[in-house]
Amino acid sequence: MSQLASWRTGSTRVLPGFGLSMGISVLFISLVLLLPITGLFGQLAELSFAEYWAIITEGRVVASYMVTIGAAAVAAIINAIFGLLLAWVLVRYDFPGKRLLDALMDLPFALPTAVAGITLATLYASSGWMGGLLEPLGFQVAYTWVGIALAMAFTSIPFVVRTVQPVLEDMPVEVDEAAMSLGATDGVAFRRVILPHIWPALVTGTGLAFVRSLGEFGAIIFIAGNMPYETEITALMIFVKLQEYDYAGASAIASVVLFVSLALLLAINIWQGRFVRRLHGGKG
């Protein structure tokens, strides 16, 4: 309320540069984010609702949703577990090569996703190193949804590590020691003291990883095999529509991905805000 009042009465702010910085930010967001999205909805306007519905509920597309969401969920869970472990190792222990491992964490961001995809496909194809080892044991990774999940996990693990890491660093070792001095076993201390502390960051990181996986394309198509109804991901469906010059159809499917991602991000944000407020005494 007071902010609104000061806005109206035009009282001066102490921090300088609000007008300029806010203006540039809004302009940038408009150009880079809002304009393309508007374009997307412009394309959608060519379709009637019935047509739109028909496109997004077509059997092959729905199957691609299932494959994408299923694989992304598996990838997100894998990332939640191993990302937490990696962050834990990086924060709590000192070992030779720690800085190198820390730097490696960002590699999936830096690497072009297509390069990652080709590498994974070569590695896990039946003629590749890993594929050659796993195939006799009855595990097929390449050209199955397992491969899709693997590629998704690879490209999105930094999200979990990089969100959990600073929160863990922020948590004093004394808190852990306090729990132990009060008689808690390692497991109890982790479950009741450490996990609740990093929980918001872990959920956010996992959520981001999941959302990122929903839209991943380059890393997956090489390893997915792209068999209709089985290993086709939604991003590929968009690509296929584009190749057929069906821009409206591509936009329709893209809008579904967009809505799901947006809803998820928003939900995480609201939930996290509530949690953080409690930790910081109602001020955060």
Q: Residues interacting with another protein, by CB under 8 A?
A: 172, 174-175, 177-185, 188, 192-193, 196-197, 278-283
Give the nearer residue to another protein in terms of CB position, either 89 or 279: 279
Give the nearer residue to another protein in terms of CB position, either 21 or 185: 185
Give the nearer residue to another protein in terms of CB position, either 94 or 99: 94
Give the nearer residue to another protein in terms of CB position, either 179 or 250: 179
Which string of b and e fits 193-212 if b means at least 16 CB within 10 Å?
bbeebbebbbbbbbbbbbbb
Give the nearer residue to another protein in terms of CB position, either 158 or 205: 205
Min. distance of Cβ 201 from another protein in angstroms? 12
Min. distance of Cβ 56 from another protein in angstroms? 41
| Residue keyed to tokens 């995809």 | 117
Min. distance of Cβ 174 from another protein in angstroms? 4
Residue 281: Cβ within 10 Å count: 7
Min. distance of Cβ 190 from another protein in angstroms? 12
> For residue 171, what are its two tokens?
């948590």
Is the CB of residue 179 less than 8 Å from the CB of residue 74? Answer: no
Min. distance of Cβ 89 from another protein in angstroms? 21
225: left (phi over 0), alpha (psi -120 to 50) or beta: left
User: In whole angstroms, what is the distance from residue 76 CA to residue 147 CA?
Assistant: 14
User: In whole angstroms, what is the distance from residue 129 CA to residue 70 CA?
Assistant: 26
Closest by Cα among 211, 218, 210, 238 to 117: 218
Give the nearer residue to another protein in terms of CB position, either 3 or 181: 181
Burial, 125: exposed, middle or buried (Cβ in 10 Å; 0-12, 13-18, 19+)? buried
Min. distance of Cβ 189 from another protein in angstroms? 8
Min. distance of Cβ 204 from another protein in angstroms? 16
User: In whole angstroms, what is the distance from residue 73 CA to residue 109 CA?
Assistant: 20
Give the nearer residue to another protein in terms of CB position, either 174 or 270: 174
86: left (phi over 0), alpha (psi -120 to 50) or beta: alpha
